[in-house]
Amino acid sequence: MKSTKLKDKKIQIINCDKPALEGKKGAIIKVSGCGLCGSDIVKINHATIENEDKIILGHEAIGTIEDINVEIKGKGENIPFKKGDVVALGHHYPCFKCKYCSHGNYSMCKTFKNSNIYPSGFSEYIFVNENHLKYTVYKKNESLSNEEFSFLEPLSCCIRAIKRAGLKLNKDNSSYNCLVVGLGSIGILMAQGLKAFQTNVFGLDINEKRQEFVKKYGVFFNEKIKYDIIFMTSGSFRALETALNLIDFGGKIIVFSSIEGDLGYKNNDIYYKELEILGSYSPSPDDLYLSSIFLKEGRVNVKGLSTDYTLDNLARAVDDTKSGKILKAYIVI
């Protein structure tokens, strides 16, 4: 079957053995497509000759269960997974037992960091184990296309960040002015997620086309106000100064992206303004569940956000994403 690997920091399409269930509990999924995440690009950019063999690219996968040897009901499901189910998934699951899990920091859990799909989301087939099925796999309903439901995992990451900011679903959050800095695909998901949490949502991007594009979601920028919570979905170090200029006293800045260089927020701004600077990295199983609900109920609209590429054109999809030519790539397998 076709899969992908890095060689000399370049993407290669390779032929490898199809995963099988012999001696393992779980399912084989025939992948129909996989979203290209910004973290995939970060992995490619930071790859070295020493570590590139360990890098797994592609995790926003969706496909059809071709074989399964366990009887497991996913969260919110009435019947167990079966052959023929179209599913999307998260690639990590926690142990629920360690210190980090007990503190709610599931993505810091060692089990979380070491678990993954095999061999890669950019493959014709993948193996997911019984814990994936139990905690991270969700059935698609007919109202969504495969491409739309592939946003399950990235939207869940945004939901995690929103919760980290202290916002709660179905509560009165109308007193919060929230700003999303960086309006790529993840920023658009974040903005829509914040709307689902009933906050006042604003967005900012130096790219005028993206600033104009998000108006279709009811997202604008207001330069005359200060913001209670700012979500940093931009990978530019210049966005740090922007956030400090726009944050209100007692506000929160949620760091949701890595940047180049060893830079940070100013100590005295944090001190005198009593700011909270929080990181948000990856979702918990509960965030994946809520993401599935938001997509299935249409609370978040991802239609038309991504551009299709074939697996053989994965390298071009990476280049087009890096150059800002597209918002999001979806790799058709």
CATH architecture under which domain 2-150+306-332 falls: Alpha-Beta Complex (3.90)
Block means of pLDDT (10 residues each) for the chain, 333 residues, are: 92 96 97 97 89 93 98 94 98 98 97 96 98 98 97 98 97 97 97 98 96 97 98 94 97 94 92 98 97 98 97 97 96 98
The predicted structure's pLDDT at residue 97: 98
CA–CA gap between residue 59 and residue 74 (Å, rounded): 19
CA–CA gap between residue 319 and residue 333 (Å, rounded): 18
Write the single-letter amino acid at 224.
Answer: K
For the chain, domain boundaries: 2-150+306-332, 166-279
- Top CATH class of 166-279 equals alpha beta
The token pair at 148 is: 């739309």
68-118: per-residue pLDDT in tens?
Answer: 999 999 999 999 999 999 999 999 999 999 999 999 999 999 999 999 999
The predicted structure's pLDDT at residue 231: 98
The predicted structure's pLDDT at residue 265: 95
CA–CA gap between residue 168 and residue 178 (Å, rounded): 14
Find the helix or strand (DSSP H, E) in which 184 lies: none
- Is the dihedral angle over the CA atoms 56, 57, 62, 66 positive or is it negative? negative
Q: Which residue has the tokens 């490619």?
A: 44
- Is the dihedral angle over the CA atoms 98, 54, 118, 327 positive or is it negative? positive
The predicted structure's pLDDT at residue 8: 86
Among the listed residues 32, 88, 35, the one whose alpha carbon sits nearest the alpha carbon of residue 330: 35
Write the single-letter amino acid at 216.
Answer: K
Strands 247-255 and 329-332 come out as unpaired
Tell me the pTM.
0.96
The predicted structure's pLDDT at residue 260: 83
CA–CA gap between residue 249 and residue 273 (Å, rounded): 5
The predicted structure's pLDDT at residue 271: 98
The predicted structure's pLDDT at residue 154: 98
